[in-house]
Structure 1
Amino acid sequence: MRIYLLANCSATRQNESIMKHYLLLIGFIVAVTCSSLLAQEKASLQPNATILSILQGSTGKTVELRLNCGEKIGGKVEQVNDNLVLLSHLTGAEFFDGFVNVKDISAVVIRSAGK
């Protein structure tokens, strides 16, 4: 019985080495896939861009709105119409939603990729 175990020792180590390489390859593929899914596209300025058009293009993304009065409010953009923006999961008050008048917004801050 001992002779059999010693004879198969190198084959077992070789199989373990192959499995480690496959696991490393799978881990690398998963890491690359996840990082590309989490990266957001870089913001760009269009010639006819408005606060309203930027908000409409940011539906589903987390943004921070800077208001004319100097206050900040952040959350996930759920809906946008001509007058109001509906933010869900407000920063610091995740169980609340908020409505913001589009006319009161002076800036929209969007997180870009790699930051």
Structure 2
Amino acid sequence: MSKKKRNGEQFNIRISKEAKDKIVANAKLLEISQAKYIEKLALEGCKVIEIRNDEFVSYMEQQEAVLNKIGINLNQIAAAINSGKANIIDSNMSIFQSAIKAFGIYYSKIEQNTQKIELTT
């Protein structure tokens, strides 16, 4: 009969049911074992753990092309204005307004899709 060799040390403690439930839930959200979760807290002393939202990441990756086009347009307008070939006219201002609106939408999406677990000590 072969015994499986385990890595690491065993550490037994008693905690409240609420604390255990929180550890179980947080480890599940992070998709790591409870032991890894507790070890990470002990070694790194982190207060906030970011949780990856794959649906949001996919959405933002799709929007990257849109953001690149906006950036190219803004750079072209700025270059033309700086070289004296163009003035700030209404059509240029509408592009700036569209960019501001787009960035506002992206910022609000980022805020809505950022999940955090606050760990208090």
Please confirm whether the aligned pair reaches a TM-score higher than 0.5, indicating the same fold. Answer: no
Q: Answer 1 or 2: which has greater strand percent.
A: 1
* TM value normalised by structure 1: 0.24
User: Which structure's relative contact order is higher, taking Cα pairs within 8 Å and 6+ residues apart?
Assistant: 2
